Amino acid sequence: MKNLRPRLAVDMDEVIADALTAQRLWYKDVHGYQWTENELRGRHLGDLATPEHAAGMQALLHDGHFFGDLDVMPGAQNALEFLSQYFDIFITTAAMEYPASCAPKFQWLQKNFPFIPTLNIVFCGHKSILAADFLIDDNVRNFQNFRGQGILFSAPHNLNVEWSPRVANWKDAVSYLMQMHPETDAP
């Protein structure tokens, strides 16, 4: 029997987990960087730091524990809990970039999103393998060969990227998705 509920795939970092704030704090505390929002526009932090300092951040990310203490993106918990009434939600993270992050990310999800079934958590490499109707992600590269609709979640590094649809926050994401849902009206 065919599943009638649309499938919503949701990225973790910079979509439901605030990795950017934690990384900025590390760069500030360890190396004294204090970048402005304008300096961050269209750039990754590693592009703004010295190669040695960027390598230190990469080592921290490869260790994996960094991912276990991130703050939740504003509105993400309430939005996903609401959307779970209308969509089958899958958390889909390209964790193979940092394999040691899998256990910390899984624990973080259990703590912050206990309503997401554990079988709906996908650690993957290429997101083109996902069989979902929608994918909310902050990197357009993850929409390549994805067969559903990619929804770009705004982050400083992607502000110069042309993509539609784009959502600025979880309120916008809920509004867009409810307009796309075949059996509901937008809240």
Choose, from 13, 18, 133, 138, the residue flagged as catalytic: 13
Q: Is 29 a catalytic residue?
A: no
Residues 11, 18, 133, 138: which is the catalytic one? Answer: 11
Burial class (CB in 10 A: 0-12, 13-18, 19+), 11: buried
The band of 186, judged by pLDDT with boundaries at 50, 70 and 90, is very low
Residue reference for tokens 């889909």: 92
SS3 11: coil
**What is the band of 185 on the pLDDT scale with cuts at 50, 70, 90?**
very low
Compute the residue count for the chain.
187
Q: Is 13 a catalytic residue?
A: yes
Contact 157, 127 (CB under 8 A): no
What does the pLDDT look like over 113-159, one tens digit per residue? Answer: 999 999 999 999 889 889 999 999 999 999 999 999 999 999 999 99
Q: Note if the pTM is more than 0.75.
A: yes
CA distance 15 to 154: 8
Identify residue 93 by its one-letter amino acid code.
T
Do residues 88 and 7 make contact, with C-beta atoms less than 8 angstroms apart?
Answer: yes
- For residues 97-126, one letter each, b for 16 or more C-beta atoms within 10 angstroms of the residue's C-beta and e for the rest, the string is ebeebbebbbebbeebbeebeeebbbbeee
